[in-house]
Amino acid sequence: MRAADDKAVKTVTFFRGDGIGPEISDSVFAIFQAAHAPVKFEIFNVGEAEYNRNGKLIPDEAFASFEKTKVLLKSPITTPVGKGFRSLNVTMRKKYDLYANFRPAKSNSAVPTPFPNTDIVTFRENTEDLYAGVEEKISDNEMHSIKIITRDKSERICRSAFDFAVQNGRKKVTCIHKANIMKLTDGLFLDVFYDVAKDYPSIEAKDMIVDACCMNLVLDPTKFDVMVTENLYGDIITDLTSGLIGGVGLMPSANVGTDMAMFEAVHGSAPDIAGKNIANPTAFLWSACMMLDHIGLGEYGDMIRTAIKNVMDEGVHTTKDIGGNASTTEYTDAVINEIKKLLAMAA
């Protein structure tokens, strides 16, 4: 694993983002270089600053790069405040049909919580539900938003969750819904879930109403293994599961379609701390490791994850958001030192 030329170099599109995006991007670049990861990045500036410069949130050449490489690592992006602007994340997911959003929440040694054994992966349907954005103004005093659930899109997200469970030795998939009230839309999603479950007899299939799910998550998250759900519920639930492990600064994310995939941290661009060298790059680093897994370079991802775990176990160079005093740069340097140790041991 010492030399990058042991494997063919993979080209990946990289959106540098804004706010804390450039700082945590630099952390990824430095750590990938230290790990000799055979990855070449095509780097583009995107977000509010790019819009102010050129009138586009994402330049055309950035879209073209992603369409060519099929893999995108995206740092946090600020969406300008104002009418007419939708979340860039929503735009990317819909434009490229990145229908499966999965977010792992796993306890770590750096953040003591009441839930030290949390290990949950949530699969969220990414392209429909209320986030389809189908809204209607009835009058100045009445607005409607349409919830859209379809059989084919429900089936593919449920199948993604079960496939993941089989491939990763998971035992149970729980469908999260509100079919007791929304009997047609959520009822369809739930029916499809159990239809798909028949093809996976080795995996336990259960379902839970979303409000009961939230209660049970904060009572005993070990009840859950893999969860699959609709767009809005998934957005809310995964923020909750990030809280179980110490916050969104520790939550990676993948958005996967049929032949394209985008990897990003769950958290936003945090403009209030931009430029202060205190941002925690861990979630983005773990997202980058998921990207390495996706492109067949999982051994490099494992090495980086091990280095991060060693730094967290030591507890000396963690960032302020998780109880330490290290700057972004100091944390990055500590991870690089651990990578050097691992490479020396493997030599």
CATH architecture assigned to 1-99+252-347: 3-Layer(aba) Sandwich (3.40)
pTM given for the model: 0.90
312-341, pLDDT tens digit by residue? 999 899 999 888 999 999 999 999 999 999
Using pLDDT thresholds of 50, 70 and 90, give the confidence band for residue 111: confident
Least confident of 1-15, 31-45, 62-76, 304-318: 1-15
Is the separation of the CB atoms in 96 and 66 below 8 Å? yes
161-197: burial string, b at 16+ Cβ within 10 Å, e else: bbbbbeeeebeebbbbbbbeebeebbbbbbebbeebb
Q: How much is the pLDDT for 86? A: 57
Q: How much is the pLDDT for 79? A: 66
All structural domains of the chain with their residue ranges:
1-99+252-347, 112-245
Least confident of 30-34, 93-97, 288-292: 93-97
Q: How much is the pLDDT for 245? A: 93
CB atoms within 10 A of CB 11: 15
Q: How much is the pLDDT for 117? A: 92
Tokens of 212: 């009961």
* CA separation, residue 34 to residues 37, 302, 333, 345 (Å): 8, 14, 10, 15
**Are domains 1-99+252-347 and 112-245 of this chain identical in fold?**
yes
The span from the CA of 266 to the CA of 130, in Å, is: 20
The span from the CA of 318 to the CA of 324, in Å, is: 5
CATH architecture assigned to 112-245: 3-Layer(aba) Sandwich (3.40)
Q: How much is the pLDDT for 2? A: 45
Q: How much is the pLDDT for 80? A: 61
Q: How much is the pLDDT for 5? A: 47
pLDDT at 347 over 80: yes
166-191, pLDDT tens digit by residue? 999 999 999 999 999 999 999 999 99
Tokens of 170: 């998971």
Using pLDDT thresholds of 50, 70 and 90, give the confidence band for residue 87: low
Least confident of 4-8, 23-27, 169-173, 227-231: 4-8
What is the arithmetic mean of pLDDT over 13-36?
95
